[in-house]
Amino acid sequence: MNHPITLTVNGVVREATVPARRLLSDCLRHDLGLTGTHVGCEHGVCGACTVLLDGEPVRSCLMFAATADGHEITTVEGLAAADGTLSPAQRAFAECHGLQCGFCTPGFLCTVTAFLRENAAPTDEEVVEAISGNLCRCTGYQNIIKAVHRAAELQAETRADKEEGAR
Amino acid sequence: MTIETGRRSGVGESVLRPDGTLKVTGEFAYASDLWLDGMLWGATLRSPHPSAWIRSVDIGPALAMPGVFAALTHRNVPGEKSYGLEHRDQPVLAVDEVRYQGEPVALVAADHPETARRAAAAIVVEYEPREAVVDPMRAAFDPDCPAVHPNGNLVRHQPVRVGDVGAAATGAEVVVTGEYEVGMQDQAFLGPESGLAVPAEDGGVDLYIATQWLHVDRDQIAPCLGLPPGKVRLSLAGVGGAFGAREDLSMQIHASMLALRTGRPVKMVYGREESFLGHVHRHPARMRYEHGATLDGRLVYVKAEIVLDGGAYRSSTPAVVGNAASLGVGPYEVADIEIDAYGVYTNNPPCGAMRGFGAVQACYAYESQMDRLAEACGLSPVEIRTRNAVSQGSRIATGQLIDTPAPLAEMLAEIAAMPLPEPVAVQADLRLLPGGVSQTTHGEGVRRGVGYAVGLKNICFSEGFDDYSTAQVRLESLAGEPHVLVHTAAAEVGQGLVTVQAQIARTELGVDRVTVAPADTTVGSAGSSSASRQSYVTGGAVKTACEAVRQRLDAMRAEHPGLSLDELLERFGPIEETREYRHRPTVPMDPVTGQGDTHTQLALCVHRAVVDVDVELGLVKVVELAAVQDVGKILNPLALEGQIHGGSAQGLGLALMEEIQVRDGRVLNPSFTDYLIPTILDMPPMRLSILENPDPHAPYGLRGAGEPPTLSSTPAVAAAVRAATGLPLTRVPIRPEDIALTPASIS
């Protein structure tokens, strides 16, 4: 049986009709055409499919699309500003060579975006713990740690600029 | 010593990846992201048995399902029934028998991936299971062992004979022997196999595919489709990692067959479990080594037997055997050598290319031996290696002269001088102890160990292979500015080759604006993105083509001295040149003695690992991993460090956690729940020192860099765990029970 659902994805209201067991990851990729969310293991281990559900990171391969009905979802495609300006995490991963093949990157970016909102100036230990649920096979993680710290710096600069502008 | 190449964003600078922005915005199109309206989805039915006769295949139930457009078996293969990298022994679809669990038997195309999967499962295959050959030692040496292929089970036996080991043995004052085992490692790239095949109006097919080598794919696909190569056009889709696993075909022919049959575009994407069954792995190895030395630790002779389990099909097993044999004593000076390396067929999963390619297995064994020898001679691990280290002017086991810098002793001195990390206090934060928050003690049983290892890797294809790359370079005026377009068929798999190609063009032509065109088969072959060879060979091709363009440009400038570059290009049009580049030729190993100049370049890497081991729980935490590598010339510091980090992490994984567990020919752990790769918690901070002693034969003096770190990190971690536990640990990966439950540790 199919179910009509309404999701707010990256700020846009999207409607779809899905079978009850359609995974959120498949709904995003196939029904909504948002292929930036990647599927690496299909059972919640690798973290590549991580998206933000009402701001919190979730594994979209472990959730039914119908369960997300009525919720707000942010995917990697929604992290940049409306004018295309990259978010601090996006800029930092590109600048610090925090990616090689890049398949895991959207999941890392969603995890890190939520993490830095909670903890704007993390220590190394906190960074490592925060992203220990995301697998990367290419980088050996060294530059990913650098990228997270750099993202925190960029986020702080962006906030300072905004406060400056508000005055 | 460094070579100055200094051009802004040219060779030697940490230029950022041109695909970085697309990869952080989600726009980069991986093969699994491709989509065409009206496309069908392909699925593969695979054998559940490692060895069986097929008595019948009934595709009727699949065809009867709504939404199914085709179901195919070997009868529908239009051309050659088999393919293979070096030798066509692998059926496109099983013909009357299956030789490994996961062998493709039938294909389905349907309008939805779930329908395709269900339809494949509905196909009825009648199997008659038979005895599976699962013991590689039996396959190698037991004449009564059933044959996996008509010609027997031996794929290649490569001996190496130098001097007289028998006579030398009488002169050895210290002899150490050991038997070692390496488990089956998986490349475990994160982006599973996938591609999109589109039938073309000319009866051919356009294939968008994640691969390592477009042209060798094409040359295997076309005969099986019964098409001339020109009608099989491949374009590289986004590749989610490779590490050797994409050197063999996976779904290329299958998707093309379904597309040609249905007249519709067909997409195939493997799931993770299918990926584990659908690509080759690193050869598991059984190795027996004997090292003889003088009392003061100088090697007198080395004797070794290396058996590599190639699984059901040949793939690149012969070349892997060649590497294990030719690099089998490592970067040490040894007068008398006797090595026998074997690659065999079994009914285990097929094995082929993985980062390090035959050199990884041997390195674990010979480095374990060097530590035993150090102990027997009362020397430190660094001292025993330094005393026997090769240098420029030495000869390796094949008799080949090392005619370029090989400063192994200096590299060892440098790594030994690096400061060691502080010990962790017993009452430390649990997260700092082995096992992290899974720790159930307070670290009373934690012991620290330090281990060293070195590795020797050949760069580029060896043993007489015609190893070349092709580059087309076009210098033109675009919007009033000079612009360079570089076109090759070289596969960007994440390593950063697109960046390096553009850097070379900027340096050679002095033009800032460079675009690297998408890789496809409309230009000549670039060879494989493997063997650490693309910077060398495709880099060399781009450099050579740029030089040819520059030569023409210089002639034009001489004739028209008053014109600017842009004016010249506006007036006379674009300058385009295509060049092939080859490295120094090599020869096959002598079949009896293994001698010959079989490699074009040799590379060294040295690792030091520091570990904390909870000897009661069997848990290991790697505290720090340091590496010294000589890369000849750094093309891009940021990207290079990324390669060393990543290669070291994969070596750490092999040392401590990564193994495809195979029982009776069946894979027990085809998932990321059960096949473990290092997380960020497993990977320690790395300390790197990168040397630049140029190889005058290579472009810019560079030395291939992607694989060497994968060799030495495994034995360095294993040595550190031995140092912490005092256990022999002759098998990798080292499992918790190998530490906590061995008789030695219990007593």
Cβ-defined contact of B192 to A40 (cutoff 8 Å): yes
The band of A118, judged by pLDDT with boundaries at 50, 70 and 90, is: very high
- What rounded mean pLDDT belongs to chain B? 96
Both A7 and A73 in one domain: the answer is yes
* Nearest residue to B215 (alpha-carbon basis) of B191, B242, B249: B249
Are A114 and A92 within one domain? yes
Is B434's pLDDT higher than 60?
A: yes
**Distance of CA B34 to CAs B20, B39, B197, Å?**
19, 10, 10
Task: Give the per-residue pLDDT at B436.
Answer: 86
B714-747: pLDDT as tens digits: 999 999 999 999 999 999 999 999 999 877 655 4
Q: Taking residues B371-396, what's their average pLDDT?
A: 98
Average pLDDT over residues B662-690: 98
List the single residue in A94, A128, A138 with the smallest CB-CB distance to B680. Answer: A128
Mean pLDDT, rounded, of chain A:
96
pLDDT at B378: 98
Same domain, B508 and B620: no
Residue A93 shares a structural domain with residue A128: yes
Tens digits of residue pLDDT in B100-117: 999 999 999 999 999 999
Residues B369 and B451 in one domain: yes
Do residues A71 and A141 share a domain?
no
Beta strands in B481-527 (DSSP E): 481-487, 514-516
Which residue range forms the structural domain that includes residue A140?
88-166
* DSSP strands (E only) in B111-204: 124-129, 154-162, 174-182, 194-199
DSSP β-ladder status, A56-59 and A12-19: unpaired
CB contact under 8 A, A99 and B495: no
Q: CATH number of the domain that A143 lies in?
A: 1.10.150.120
What average pLDDT score do residues B529-557 get? Answer: 97
Sheet holding B686-691, edge to edge: B446-459, B601-614, B619-630, B686-691
Minimum CA–CA partner of B275 in chain A? A41
Considering chain A, what percentage of its residues have pLDDT values greater than 90? 93
Overall average pLDDT of the B684-692 stretch: 98
Please check whether residue A114 lies inside any domain of the structure.
Answer: yes
Please, how many CA atoms are within 13 Å of residue A37, restricted to the half-sphere of its CB? 31
pLDDT digits (tens, 9 = 90+) for B151-161: 999 999 999 99
Given this model, what pLDDT does residue B2 score? 37
What is the predicted pLDDT for the residue at B444? 87
Each residue of A79-116: b (16+ CB within 10 Å) or e? Answer: bbeeeeebbbbbbbbbbbbbbbbbbbbbbbbbbbbbbb
- Considering only B415-419, B420-424, B677-681, which range has the smallest mean pLDDT? B420-424
CB proximity B20 to A under 8 Å: yes
Cross-chain residue pair A100–B494, CB shorter than 8 Å? yes
Same domain for B227 and B274? yes
Split at pLDDT 50, 70, 90, the class of B1 is very low
pLDDT digits (tens, 9 = 90+) for B22-45: 999 999 999 999 999 999 999 999
Element (H, E) at B371: helix B359-377
Looking at the predicted structure, is the pLDDT value of residue B591 above 70? yes
Residue whose entry in the numeric block shows the structure tokens 């049009």:
B573
Same domain, B532 and B604: no
Query: How many distinct structural domains can be found in chain B?
Result: 3
B438–A contact, CB cutoff 8 A: no
* Nearest-CB residue to B24 (from A38, A41, A90): A90
pLDDT category, A83, cuts 50, 70, 90? Answer: very high
Q: What is the mean pLDDT of residues B121-137?
A: 98
| Domain CATH number, residue B479 | 3.30.365.10
**What per-residue confidence (pLDDT) applies to B3?**
41
The reported pLDDT for the residue numbered B406 is: 98
Select from A36, A138, A144 the Cβ nearest to the Cβ of B27.
Answer: A36
Q: What is the pTM of this model?
A: 0.97
- The per-residue pLDDT for B4 is 45
List all residues of chain B from 22 to 41 with a beta carbon under 8 Å from chain A. Answer: 23-30, 32-33, 35
- Contact state of A102 with B686 under an 8 Å Cβ cutoff: no
> Measured between beta carbons, which residues in chain B are less than 8 angstroms from residue A86?
21, 24-25
Residues spanned by the domain of B487: 3-30+468-582
Token pair for residue B616? 């009661």
Annotate B200-265 with DSSP letters as a single string.
-TTS-EEEEE--SBHHHHHHHHHHHHT--GGGEEEEEPB----TTTTSS-SSHHHHHHHHHHHSS-
Rounded to two decimals, the ipTM of the complex is 0.98
Contacts of A100 in chain B (CB under 8 A): 241, 494-496, 642, 646
Mean pLDDT on A95-112: 98
Whether B241 and A76 lie within 8 Å, measured CB to CB: no
Same domain, A101 and A72: no
- Does one domain contain both B216 and B264? yes
Q: What is the pLDDT of residues B484-501, one digit of tens each?
A: 999 999 999 999 999 999
Residue of A nearest to B648 (CA): A140
* Residue B496 Cα, gap to closest chain A Cα (Å): 7
